[in-house]
A and B are shown apart, each in its own frame.
Chain A
Amino acid sequence: MLRYRFTAEGFHRMAEAGILPEDARVELVEGEILTTSPMGKKHAHVLNTLVDLLSPLRGQAVISIQNPLVLGPVTEVYPDLALLKPPRTRYRDRLPEGEDVLLLAEVADTSLDYDLTVKLPLYAKAGIPEVWVVDLVRDRVYVFRRPTGEGYGEREALEGGELEALGLRVPVKEVLP
């Protein structure tokens, strides 16, 4: 028996018809509807920190927080933060897709495995050039660059030093809680 895969279009119809659970954070990942547990305070804090630290890039990128990102016909995810190609009006009538993303950041606590094994390959496949995953359990930031068909050619785990986003330097210690 074959599991039915929802399309992004069907997913939107459900949202419009008010069918999906309102109180849950819902994503469409390869045709499956997934719900996420409510965000913890550490996660929220680190996300706020990232927004602060990356805000100098306002002129160079659209800073998109927990907004939809379409990755092909059966996947629509809500990354914690994405730096998108400007201008903002580019996304007035459509949702951003993989090729619009300059950098993507996820904050992970219990979801680390899922982020690394399921979502990361999807980001790579969509050609997203750089992904940061902040690991709240081990206090480190994983940096992935050079997307290939299945994964990233370059990966680093940073516990100190600096991250770099569009020329802006961000100390790892400031990102970690």
Chain B
Amino acid sequence: MTRHRISLEEFHRMVEAGVFPEDLRLELVEGELLEMSPIGPKHAFVVRKLTTLLAPLALENKALLSGQNPLVVGQSELYPDVVLLRPHSDGPDRHPQGQEALLVVEVTDTSLRHDLSVKVPLYAQGGVPEVWVVDREGRRVLVHREPREGGYKEVRTLGPRDTLAFMGVEIPVEELL
């Protein structure tokens, strides 16, 4: 017996056929469907803060700002906490793809290992140019750049006194912890 690996197409047809309960949030991670745990207040707080700080980029039409919406990377469909997409890469008939992203931010509480070992490599494979992992427990942000097969070439660790910068927006790490 072999576990059936679910393809992206099958997953979308399942959603259309009403296979899943409405309120369920599922990520398709390399052929497996994973249930996302409910979002805690601290996590939501950080995501709101990030969204607010990155909003000027959306207002200036430099990027599309997408919060906790699907992003397709290869045969996986993930829900990053925050995504900045290239302008004009939007459309109502499909989900955006990894190579259309400018930046992905994941805020982790208990899922750090899963985010670093499973999701970050998928983002790299999907061509996402930059990924921030906000590790609140470790009081740091891991900045990943230069995607290649299997992971990112450059990984920098920023502490509470450092400042994140993206397309002219500056975010003190302290504000996210």
Contact = CB atoms under 8 A, between A and B. Distances in A.
- Tell whether A pairs with B: yes
Contacts of B165: none
Given A2-B35, A4-B35, A19-B13, A32 B19 contact: no
B3 interface: yes
A10 B19 contact: yes
Interface in A1-31: 1-4, 6, 10, 13-14, 16-17, 19-21, 24, 26-27, 29
A20 B13 CA distance: 10
B4 A21 contact: yes
Nearest to A119: B1
Nearest to A6: B19
Q: Which of B4, B6, B26, B35 has the most CB of A within 10 A?
A: B4
A36 interface: yes
Contacts of A27: 1
A105 to B, nearest CB: 18
Contacts of B29: 1
A7 to B, nearest CB: 9
Nearest to A26: B4
B3 A13 contact: no
Contacts of B52: none
A33 interface: yes
Interface of B: 1-4, 6, 10, 13-14, 16-20, 24, 26-27, 29, 32-37, 111, 114
Nearest to B118: A1
A17 B6 CA distance: 15
A34 interface: yes
Contact of A10 (B3, B20, B36, B114): B20
B33 A34 contact: no
A17 B16 CA distance: 9
Interface residues of A, number: 26
B33 A35 contact: no
A4 B34 contact: yes
Nearest to B11: A19
B34 A19 contact: no
B34 to A, nearest CB: 4
Interface string A27-57: 1010011111100000000000000000000
A16 to B, nearest CB: 8
A34 B34 contact: no
Contacts of A29: 1
Contact of A4 (B4, B33, B111): B33
Given A19-B19, A21-B4, 15 more contacts: A1-B29, A1-B111, A2-B35, A3-B35, A4-B20, A4-B26, A4-B33, A4-B35, A13-B19, A14-B14, A16-B17, A19-B10, A24-B4, A33-B3, A36-B1
Contacts of A111: 1
Contacts of A16: 17
